[in-house]
Amino acid sequence: MTSTTARVALVTGGSGGIGSSVVERLVQDGFAVAVHYSGNASRAEELAAKVRGTGGQAITVGGDVADEAAMAAGFDTIEEEWGGLDVVVNTAGIMLLSPIATLDLADLDRMHRTNIRGTFVVSQLAANRLRAGGALINFSTTVTRTRFPTYGGYVASKAAVESMTLVLARELRGRDITVNAVAPGPTATPLFLDGKDQQTVDELAKAAPLERLGTPDDVAEAVAFLAGPARWVNGQVVYVNGGLA
Which residues are known catalytic residues? Answer: 154
Residue 170 · residue 117 · CB < 8 Å: no
Residue 86 · residue 115 · CB < 8 Å: no
Separation of alpha carbons 120 and 115, rounded Å: 8
Distances (CA, A) of 156 to 20, 96, 205, 240: 25, 12, 24, 19
Phi, psi of 89 (to 5 degrees): -115, 120
Phi, psi of 32 (to 5 degrees): -85, 130
Task: Tell me the β-bridge partners of 138.
Answer: 90, 181
The secondary structure of residue 101, as a DSSP letter, is G
Task: Tell me the β-bridge partners of 182.
Answer: 139, 238
Separation of alpha carbons 104 and 94, rounded Å: 15
Distances (CA, A) of 116 to 23, 71, 166: 22, 15, 14
Three-class secondary structure of residue 59 per DSSP? strand
Residues 6+ away with beta carbon under 8 Å from 228: 29
